[in-house]
Amino acid sequence: MDEDRRKFLDELLSTATPSGYETAGQRVWIDYVESYADEVRVDDYGNAVAVLKGSGDAEVALAGHGDEIGFIVRDVTDDGFLRIDRIGGSDSTVSRGQHVTVHTDNDPIDGVVGQTAIHLRNGEDDDVPGINEQHVDIGAEDGDEAEELVSRGDPITFEQTISELQNGYLSARGMDNRIGIWAAAEGLRRAAETGTDATVYAVSTVQEEVGVQGAKMVGFDLDPDAAIAVDVTHATDQPDSPGKRSSGVALGDGPVIARGSANHPALVDAVRDTAESEDIDVQLQATGNRTGTDADAFYTSRGGIPSLNVGLPNRYMHTPVEVIDPADLEAVADLLAGFAAQADALAPFSVDL
């Protein structure tokens, strides 16, 4: 990954975007992609769409979601501690003892999620309390001081650290799904460089983590001929992955093309053919019921939009230490650009009956 692309990824990863509070991250994304797009537009909820206009008939959307999981201030105790709740699928087993940032209307406030010291706990105290039983300590003396600093409804995220591991692997909070909007923007940029007859929409949706809400809005508004939703998917190549949940997906083995449920068979074939013609290694994944991504919203929009979920292998999803291989991410962007270049010739995407 070259310096400009890595800078863009780091800026996305360093900007907090919990669901419902995505504005700052959407601005970072727009500032990058607008240099390569013919037009960028934003709807009332903050879904961002960059348009690369083609001369052909086909219109394709390359999408990721710009929001991340987090927490929210539910209440303030008389002692000055913050009671919290989830934003999205936050994991109670990894939250205690972590540094966090409370994103207030004014300045961000540092805090920690309290964890009783092991010396003071009985054995029966080792059960993990739910998020709504945990608290954030911002160092306030009492509730009055705390309420001068924060408000109920302020979002909270883990303090960000981006680490480079061995073999170039990257670890950070919120790979889910900064990688998706990075790939969508890069897919459009690379398509602009190589040329495409199809009109290409790069999309950064909001509120995926709370029910694929932004994709419902965008799918209805754009109504493209095809939509590819890029998101992380579980890499099960680490020791704690349960055998019964193994998928065969591994870091470094390339993008993951999902099959089943929302994933339109003609679009699956088209993207697999693109991978072969572009000499991009891909992995396959079974999604018998649902993908758990924006593809689930796109494919039922309007009269049905041929949709596909392309995944990026990711270890430790929904934790502060998600791990990816940037080589997989580069390959996703190349795959999107290659598909966009051929999309006008491949369309329409429909089942053959």
> One-letter amino acid identity for 307?
S
The token duo for 17 is 């975007």
Q: Does 176 belong to an annotated binding site?
A: yes
For helices 175-194 and 23-33, angle between their N-to-C axes, nearest 10 degrees = 20
Domains of the chain: residue spans and CATH: 3-68+173-346 (3.40.630.10), 70-158 (2.40.30.40)
H or E element in which residue 102 lies? strand 99-102
Q: Which pLDDT belongs to residue 118?
A: 85
CA torsion sign, 211 to 214 to 220 to 223? negative
Q: Which pLDDT belongs to residue 244?
A: 67
For the chain, state the CA radius of gyration: 21
Cα separation values, 195 from 18, 92, 189, 304, 325, Å = 35, 47, 10, 28, 28
Cα separation values, 304 from 198, 272, 307, Å = 20, 21, 9
Cα separation values, 279 from 83, 328, 337, Å = 51, 13, 13
Q: Which pLDDT belongs to residue 119?
A: 83
Q: Which pLDDT belongs to residue 264?
A: 97
The span from the CA of 208 to the CA of 294, in Å, is 7
For helices 326-346 and 3-13, angle between their N-to-C axes, nearest 10 degrees = 100
The DSSP letter of residue 260 is B
Residues in Cβ contact with 161 at an 8 Å cutoff, skipping those fewer than 6 apart: 171, 172, 173, 320
Q: Which pLDDT belongs to residue 124?
A: 66
The span from the CA of 344 to the CA of 324, in Å, is 32
Burial of residue 98, with CB atoms counted within 10 A of its CB: 0-12 exposed, 13-18 middle, 19 or more buried: middle
- DSSP H helices in 2-95: 3-13, 23-33, 92-95
Annotated catalytic, 208?
Answer: yes
Q: What is the three-class DSSP state of 315? A: strand
Convert the pLDDT of each residue in 61-79 to its tens digit. Answer: 999 999 999 999 999 999 9
Length of the chain: 353
Residues in Cβ contact with 56 at an 8 Å cutoff, skipping those fewer than 6 apart: 197, 198, 199, 344
Q: Does 209 belong to an annotated binding site?
A: yes
The span from the CA of 234 to the CA of 114, in Å, is 29
The span from the CA of 339 to the CA of 270, in Å, is 8
Q: Does 79 belong to an annotated binding site?
A: no
Residues of the chain where predicted confidence (pLDDT) is lower than 70:
123-125, 244
Catalytic residue among 208, 276, 278, 322: 208
Q: Concatenate the DSSP letters of all residues of 147-203 into one string.
A: HHH--TT-EEEEPP--EE-GGG-EEETTHHHHHHHHHHHHHHHHHHHH--SSEEEEE
Q: Which pLDDT belongs to residue 206?
A: 98
Q: Does 264 belong to an annotated binding site?
A: no
Q: Which pLDDT belongs to residue 242?
A: 77
Q: Which pLDDT belongs to residue 125?
A: 66
Q: Does 234 belong to an annotated binding site?
A: no
Q: What is the three-class DSSP state of 83? A: strand
